[in-house]
Chains A and B, each alone.
Chain A
């Protein structure tokens, strides 16, 4: 059956109608149909003969695709208020960080504890990361879309004080941020290493039958060391995200250092924390070896104590001076 000009226009209008809001469909289509017909009439009058199918198709093509035509009549919609986009991006970054870091610890340390295959661990990490990323982005976006949908106003967006704006970051802040990030990475790696090395271990067996026997103190300090290392790493990560959080940072760092000193003191107090079993050594050589080994451990612990005390004093000095937390003075406008 040949296609008539009216057929083409009707089909075009029907396609446009599909995209239009129901309440306005008939009205808009009637007006568009009238406009197209006026255009056809005018062309026919100018040419002096009826338009053929190609001419009408050309008019429709020039008008644009049905979706494009319909989109002009649709309300201007948006998912998120453009003014809120910077806040959206910031919230998304923070939430993703809060989700990914514990997820990393859970996914990484879990298989280490159960001695699962590294490939399985990696695959599981990737799957869980994708799932967590989709869920996080979806939830944050939904919250912001709802805020925009219900026109929630943020009081602080208008009620702000130029004097309370954060001071301009200098190179010192950038360096501090990278230091904390490096500290976080090192801390998480150290925690993983501690778990891998010491989990439910009472001795180290070496070739030749030599065994290093761990004293009961190592079981006592296993969890405190792990928790403190993870806490320190997490805190370094937070410090890299919030470099201006200086006073809180100093206080928490001092707290972590004090806990570290207590653990070190427990280890020192326990005394001979390691024993050696070796059938090839004489009793005197064995006693010397054990003494030397424990002395080395004690000296290392003492060195760690000195470093930790130095760090705690450094933080305490900043706290006492209180200089870091003070914003730069803004000259008065008057």
Chain B
């Protein structure tokens, strides 16, 4: 039981580290089109990348302070909402970031393939296909 709890906590930490960089890419990519916070979270969740509110809003502010996003308050459905979208700097950085991401994914796939660990989400995860 204890071992399970420890390994679960360890897995959660590893998962968090793995997701951290991916979320930035996902948020920037999603904000090619304008979204407000709640709608952005829904959109990401609908595409299988659920993100916690306590992660999303600080991340949006950080990206805005880094000049990658711009935001404005606007009234929609009788409520004031803050809309975010990519800034010109964000539009310039995102393609490079995506290139880096693709290279990394390709390298990782090669490494996993060499060791027979490559798999797809449909097959139930790495290595499952071979069992």
Complex Cα–Cα for A28 and B81 (A) = 11
* A73–B53 CB distance below 8 A: no
Q: Does B38 contact A (CB under 8 A)?
A: yes
User: Interface size for chain B: under 10, 10 to 19, 20 to 34, or 35 or more residues?
Assistant: 10 to 19
Expressed in whole angstroms, the minimum distance between the Cβ of B41 and any Cβ of chain A is: 8
CA gap between A240 and B22 in the complex, in Å = 51
In the complex, 16 of the A-B residue pairs with CB atoms within 8 angstroms, ordered by the A residue number, are A24-B61, A28-B57, A30-B73, A30-B80, A31-B57, A31-B82, A34-B80, A34-B82, A35-B38, A35-B53, A35-B57, A37-B79, A63-B54, A68-B54, A69-B54, A72-B54
How many Å from the CB of B27 to the closest CB on chain A?
A: 15
Size of the A side of the interface (Cβ < 8 Å), in residues, is 16
A32 beta carbon closer than 8 Å to chain B: yes
Q: Is there an interface contact between A31 and B37, defined as CB atoms closer than 8 Å?
A: yes
B58 touches A72 (CB 8 A): yes
Q: Separation in Å of the A79 CB from the closest CB of chain B?
A: 21
B57 touches A73 (CB 8 A): yes
Interface centre among B54, B80, B82 (most CB of A within 10 A): B54
Proximity string of chain B (48-73) to chain A, C-beta cutoff 8 Å, 1 when within and 0 when not: 00000111011001000000000001
In angstroms, Cα B43 to Cα A33, docked, is: 19
Give the complex CA separation of A37 and B76 in angstroms: 13
Chain A residues with CB under 8 Å of B55's CB are 72
Q: Which residues from chain B contact A32 at a C-beta distance below 8 Å? A: 57
Instruction: List chain A residues, Cβ under 8 A from B61.
Output: 24, 28, 73
| Cross-chain contact of B38 among A24, A28, A39, A73 (Cβ < 8 A) | A39
Residues of B within 8 A of A37 (CB): 79
Query: Which residues of the partner chain A approach B58 to less than 8 Å between Cβ atoms?
Result: 72-73
Residues of A within 8 A of B54 (CB): 63-64, 68-69, 72
Least Cβ distance of A28 to chain B in Å?
A: 8
> Which chain A residues lie closer than 8 Å to B82 at the CB level?
30-31, 34
Q: How far is the CB of A3 from chain B (nearest CB, A)?
A: 23
